[in-house]
């Protein structure tokens, strides 16, 4: 890639209305059912984002992790974008950007596009860790919205 950065892309089609899917990604009370163990997400541009992932068997983490960021874009039922900065990974202190886009494909079908950008080419290990993590979490999102459990 000519810009020296690598981007993770994930796409999923979920059999649910767009407002349900958007809420699952933007509502801090719903986020904790499929994504972090603790979540703060202020639903406005400039709002605070904090996710804590606690060490456990279910998520295969060796220790707790915390991510902080700020909302860059918040358009209901369309897009959420925020900065992503790990507080607990000193080897990865780079700020990256997570963008969720939502597209209605009918009354009960929503396309979700996730893009996590800003990884340097030499950050292959972090890219791979995040890439595997996003595959896991995007599937959990689909299960949570359609079945009520991840």
**4 exposure class (CB count in 10 Å sphere: 0-12, 13-18, 19+):** exposed
Domains of the chain, start order: 5-147 (3.30.530.20)
Q: Is the pLDDT of residue 3 over 60?
A: no
Instruction: Give the DSSP H/E element, type plus range, for residue 130.
Output: helix 124-147
Q: How far apart are CA 88 and CA 57, in angstroms?
A: 19
Which letter, b or e, does each residue of 99-136 get, where b requires 16 or more Cβ atoms within 10 Å of its Cβ?
A: bbbbbbeeeeebebebbbbbbeeebeebbeebbebbee
- pLDDT tens digits for range 92-150: 668 899 999 999 998 899 999 999 999 888 888 888 888 999 999 999 999 999 999 88
- pLDDT tens digits for range 69-91: 999 999 999 999 999 997 766 66
């Amino acid at each position: 890639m000519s810009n020296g950065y690598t981007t993770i892309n994930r796409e999923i089609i979920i059999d649910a209305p767009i407002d349900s899917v958007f809420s699952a990604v933007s509502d801090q009370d719903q986020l904790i059912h499929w994504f972090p163990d603790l979540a703060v997400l202020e639903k406005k541009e400039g709002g605070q984002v904090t996710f804590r992932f606690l060490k456990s068997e279910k998520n295969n983490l060796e220790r707790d992790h915390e991510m902080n960021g700020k909302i860059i874009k918040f358009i209901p039922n369309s897009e959420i974008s925020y900065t992503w900065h790990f507080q607990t990974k000193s080897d990865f202190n780079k700020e990256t950007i997570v963008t969720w886009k939502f597209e209605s494909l009918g009354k009960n079908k929503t396309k979700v596009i996730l893009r996590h950008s800003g990884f340097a080419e030499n950050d292959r290990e972090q890219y791979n860790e995040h890439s595997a993590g996003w595959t896991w979490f995007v599937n959990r999102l689909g299960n949570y919205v359609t079945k009520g459990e991840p």
